Amino acid sequence: MTSINNTNPLSQMLNNAFAKLDRNGDGKLNSDEFKTFNEILKPGVATDEQGKPTIDYSERMDHDGDGMVSQNEMNTTGLLMRLLFAIRA
């Protein structure tokens, strides 16, 4: 798994949240794992009539376009404060 700088509390919180979402431990969030991420964020995010977020977070977070979100991509997105409070260690 990718090692991300743990020198500050925010980085530690992001890493803990990512570890909880990455159920298979491969260092990336696949589509099923990302569904959990979306469910956590949904209460604080604008949704359409079907309850889906109006912003595609996976697209915004998947910087390299491989269809998965790595720990580094998650840590550098800047959309995750709600996630941190929902998945506290």
Q: What is the pLDDT along the chain (89 residues), one digit of tens a residue?
A: 444 555 667 678 778 888 888 999 999 989 898 888 777 766 666 778 887 777 777 777 888 999 888 888 877 776 655 555 555 54
The ranges assigned to domains in the chain are 9-86
d(CA 64, CA 43): 28
> Given this model, what pLDDT does residue 73 score?
83
**Residues contacting 56, CB < 8 A, separation 6+:** none
Q: 0.75 exceeded by the pTM?
A: no
Q: What homologous superfamily does CATH list for 9-86?
A: EF-hand (1.10.238.10)
